[in-house]
Amino acid sequence: MNLSENILTLSNWINSAERICTVCHTNPDGDALGSTAAMFFYLTETLGKSVTALLPDAPPQSLGFLLEGVNYLTGGPSAQEAISRCDLLICLDFNVLSRAESLCDACTSYPGRKVLIDHHVGPQEDAFGLCFSDTGVSSACELLYEILMHMPGIDGHAGRLPARTAYALMTGMTTDTNNFANSVFPGTLRMASALLEAGVDREDILDHLYRSGREQRLRAQGDILRDRLVITPEGAAVTVLTADVLQSYALLDGETEGFVNIPLEIKEVRLSIFAREENGRFRVSLRSKKGTSARELAMQAFHGGGHEQAAGGRILIPEDIPTPEAAAEYVTRAAARFLQQNSHRS
Ligand code: 5GP
Ligand code: MN
């Protein structure tokens, strides 16, 4: 099936559905929430559908602005029940159902029509009746933009998208490209251009994303860079924060988002890893420069995956390390070994 046939099928499935649910990945980021909000406002405002957006867990407070006006549920039995009662399930910004974590079982056992819209490598194609998957785009928001532009009622005119859809698409693309620093394709700029022309207020998006932090966050970032960043001779930058240490910086949920990118500013650094302890394990973020695969290391050492240059995973206690204090050494060793083994590539 080609793209336009898939879009026609999606359009037919949406038309014949009364109750629609969307699901995004756990620890939702700007792209997950942006694609969720964009789809929600298209389905409700353009098509008048009844939609419930489902999040496997709570969104960070800093991205709450994307969910204003969205009818959403966070995890739990009511979200599972919403899935069982809907007649179309649209999965956004993840490639395998396990990434829906707390909603994975409900999504897996859902017998109805399931659609995937995603930009990660290796989609679980057999789990979906309809699969839109493209790694040649910046974000799920960019792929969703392409799809919506072909949908009836929009027909190639970005100005016909609901204003809140256009805004959410621009926001998700902006966060996944780290404000046009990574994964920018020709189509990404065409999309940005069309959305700007359609009236999206990019200044407002940038205010929300990058100019609304707390003073404490910036100061903590400085302290963490000075006190906690370790750079190995192989070119790995490692920052590991145990729960105690995190608490000492008085940071709120989501406030360490973006810290992982900063060490890549150093010329010799090829790989940056940021790990923070939460809920009895470590959440790990990895970023790399071209020639080094963050994704491969995430899969090898951290039960994770993602994109070549931006990936994530976790460190489990006690499966991987006996105590949280052992995390820094575990990460540093894994990174050093990985870079030694892969030095021929760069
Ligand atoms: P972040 O570091 O921002 O949490 O995640 C970076 C990228 O890696 C995102 O595209 C995200 O979807 C992906 N990612 C994060 N954690 C995991 C994981 O546990 N498994 C997989 N497959 N991908 C992940
Ligand atoms: Mn994404």
Tens digits of per-residue pLDDT, 75-134?
Answer: 889 999 999 999 999 999 999 999 999 999 999 999 999 999 999 999 999 999 999 999
Is the Cβ–Cβ distance between 106 and 83 less than 8 Å? yes
Note the CATH number of domain 3-210: 3.90.1640.10
CA angle at 299 for the pair 295 and 303, rounded to the nearest 5°: 130
What is the rounded distance in angstroms from the CA atom of residue 231 to the CA atom of residue 270? 10
Among residues of the chain, what percentage have pLDDT more than 90? 95
CATH class given for the domain over 215-345: alpha beta
Residue 1's pLDDT band (boundaries 50, 70, 90)? low
Q: Which of 328, 277, 322 is nearest to 336 (CA)?
A: 328
Residue 168's pLDDT band (boundaries 50, 70, 90)? very high
Which protein residue's CA is at the shortest distance from atom 16 of ligand 1? Answer: 312
Among residues of the chain, what percentage have pLDDT more than 70? 99
Q: Which of 203, 136, 134 is nearest to 167 (CA)?
A: 203
Domain with CATH 3.90.1640.10 in the chain: 3-210
- Beta strands 310-316 and 305-306, pairing class: antiparallel
Q: Residues 277-291: pLDDT tens digits? A: 999 999 999 999 999
Q: Residues 235-260: pLDDT tens digits? A: 999 999 999 999 999 998 889 999 99
Q: Which residues surround ligand 2, an ion (CB under 5 A)?
A: 31, 93, 139-140, 176
Q: Which tokens sit at 184?
A: 């920018």
Which ligand number lies closest to the CA of residue 30? 2
Tokens 């010329």: give the residue.
267
Residues with Cβ within 8 Å of residue 49, at least 6 apart in sequence: 14, 17, 18, 20, 43
pTM score of the predicted model? 0.96
What is the rounded distance in angstroms from the CA atom of residue 119 to the CA atom of residue 133? 5
Ligand 1 neighbours by CB, cut-off 6 Å: 25, 27, 29, 99, 285, 304-307, 310-313
**pLDDT reading at 313 higher than 80:** yes
Among 283, 285, 287, 316, residue to substitute to test ligand 1 (most atoms within 8 Å of Cβ) = 285
pLDDT of res. 254: 87
Round the average pLDDT of the chain to a whole number and report it.
96
**What is the CA(48)–ligand 1 centre distance, in A?**
33
Domain with CATH 3.10.310.30 in the chain: 215-345
Residue 346's pLDDT band (boundaries 50, 70, 90)? very low
**Helical segments of the chain, H only:** 3-15, 30-41, 76-85, 104-109, 140-149, 163-176, 186-197, 202-210, 215-227, 243-248, 294-301, 327-341
